[in-house]
Chain A
Amino acid sequence: MADTFAFAEFRAGAFRKVAFETVSAARRAADATGGGAVTALAMGAPGLSGKAAELGRYGADRVIVVEHAELARYSPEVFAGTAGAQLKAGSYRAGFFSASAEGRDLAPRVAAALGQSLASDITSFEITADALTARHPVYVGKAIATLRLTGTPALVSLRPGAMVAVEQSRTAQVETAAPALDPASARVVVTELAQRPAARMDLGEAPVVISGGRGLKSAENFKLVEDLASAFGNAAVGATRAVTDDGWRPSSDQIGQTGRLVSPALYVAVGISGAIQHLAGMRTARVIVAINRDKDAPIFKVADYGIVGDLFEVVPPLIEAVKRARAEHQ
């Protein structure tokens, strides 16, 4: 029987999808080691406790809620101090974080506070009493490492979207706790959180990502990519580095080696040749579709389905066909 721990990210009044992924992974780890209890830690502004029971649906037995008016925004020192203290207070075999922007900041701090290593940005894992093994893409996705992590608790961060959150029927008991340090004493302070105007889903959370490359020829033509994303309804819009460097799209939309790493269920590459740096950011997508004029473009080597042709001729009918298909099958 081994208990496990998950950090559940909460932002702007709701749990993030990655919170369900970490709780679900903690459930699987507990079950794999004899069926212990899963404790989730959630931190945020007052109002969080009313939502905490949602984590039961993904396998949490207990949710520790840390509410504080100063915690509406992420506070690295308070979050890390509190997560570290909660991990030390229990007897956990493993602790799960997300390799999201917040989790990539948080998890290493917690690991150092516990004197432990961290298997970061993993795409799958197995756990036994002695060791945790995990897979992690290295060298910008050109190789896959299988890592072995010893030490207890075994701390990992999960690549967003790589592991599916599994729903189940559990009821979580909700407790409250105080932050381990006074938020007013933090040295690093997030003074502002500016949401970028985004009608769309976030790249890391969307089940479908539609990306555009230089083949679109101008910033205005990105409307085709936007329209295709709207047709799917559950899609985010990404771009190649060439496109963000040219200022056609904000740099935060860049998918690739130096941008976002995404693993959606469906990735549609529109007018993208498929440079290795771009492939590094999306090759773990479950299904890849490519639309490109050049039949020798490297993107076709990784695409499950390719259409060779002029995107300006192919995408408009595709938008209509996707709309029809969604209307039909819903």
Chain B
Amino acid sequence: MTDRTVDIETMLRRALAPVEPPAELEARLEMHLGSLVEAAAEELELWELSAISDPKNWRHIGRPAAAVVVGGTAAVGLVLVRTQRQRHRRRAQSRNVLDLAARTVRDTGREARRLLDDLR
């Protein structure tokens, strides 16, 4: 390393290059975080339902519906993220635009069913 090593900072920059996380980790993390969002929405919904029995809370009656909307939005977002992740495979396998559209619809349906199964 005699001649080339003078600049240890340059060597450090090369030795400690950023490491890309594996795709499986991204998928697992998104799933965990997605289920946490759903659990939080459910918790909020349960709290709201119990609060409804108290007339003092009736002025907040719109909140359970909002919690359902948030939970629903999170679930739809998760389906879209999962479907989007497979777009390269779909493009590679598609014969034409129609075929690609059909595959995308099928994948979206499959992911939605998987999400529903996870929630049961």
- A is bound by B: no
